[in-house]
Amino acid sequence: MVTLNSVTKKYGALTAVDDISYTIGKGEYFALLGPNGAGKTTTVKMLLDFVRPTSGSITIGGVPCTCPVARMGVGYCAENHRIPKHLTGLQYLRRVGALAGLSKNDARLKADAMIERMGMAGKEKMEARTYSKGMVQRIALGSALIGDPKLLILDEPASGLDPIGIREVRQVLEGLRDSGVTIILNSHFLSEVEKTCDTAAIMNKGRILIKDKLSAIVSGGESLEDVFVRLVKDGHA
């Protein structure tokens, strides 16, 4: 589904991403991990064509990610999602649905369904200015799903959620994975990653330290947190 081939991104003298290559298969639940400044966000931005690689290439479904057609089936949920404060959650989802190309009626039906799916029933007519961060995250995830994406890119989707909310989001994402949706998760919630993801890559200083199945990464009896800390401190796999 996704292929990165010798991708490098430089900002002047700073190399944010340094010659990384890997593939993510269809229906794979993949975690992109690393400390702050590791290059994770830059990698996600290149996948979404928000920024262009200095060198190398990225494809989605075999099509360069720079082509709009490659991104038509992509849903994205940012960590610090912004909803216009005067809109209700329902109004916002309907507008996102329209932007995704849905008819007015389909956008209305899908928005209603997302309100239920994200546990926001009864709060959908409240203005976004009254929402907690967790409520914003629920609406943000709903907006990422409203176009029925084949590839879902998530940046800290559990940020601001309580334990019940985290479990509900986990169940939604596991259902999507089981239906064949490819998920790329950028997260610091390592215990959650260990419960849910199939594969992971750990980055530091722009480079990939390890990329493997989760079962192989933690096969030595260590937790994912143990492996993460060891690799980042050592600087290599």
pLDDT per position as a tens digit, 63-76: 999 999 998 889 99
Residue 108, pLDDT score: 94
Tokens of 26: 């269809």
Residues 6+ apart with CB under 8 A from 55: 6, 7, 8
Domains of the chain in sequence order = 1-73+151-160+186-237 (3.40.50.300)
E-strand ranges in 81-178 read: 151-155
pLDDT digits 0-9 by tens, 52-101: 999 999 999 999 999 999 988 899 988 788 899 999 999 999 999 999 88
In this prediction, residue 106 has a pLDDT band, given cuts at 50, 70 and 90, of: very high
d(CA 232, CA 209): 8
pTM of the model: 0.89
**pLDDT(159) > 80:** no
Residue 155, pLDDT score: 87
Amino acid at 147: G
Buried b (16+ CB within 10 A) or exposed e, 14-51: ebbbeebeeebeebbbbbbbbeeebbbbbbbbbbbbeb
Residue 237, pLDDT score: 53
Total Cβ atoms within 10 A of residue 176? 19
In this prediction, residue 187 has a pLDDT band, given cuts at 50, 70 and 90, of: confident
> Do 18 and 172 form a contact (C-beta atoms < 8 A)?
no
Residues 6+ apart with CB under 8 A from 41: 155, 186
Query: Considering just the CA atoms, what is the radius of gyration of the chain in Å?
Result: 18
Residue 178: helix, strand or coil by DSSP? helix
Amino acid at 151: L
Average pLDDT on 196-224 reads: 92
Residue 22: helix, strand or coil by DSSP? strand
d(CA 119, CA 108): 17
Amino acid at 46: M
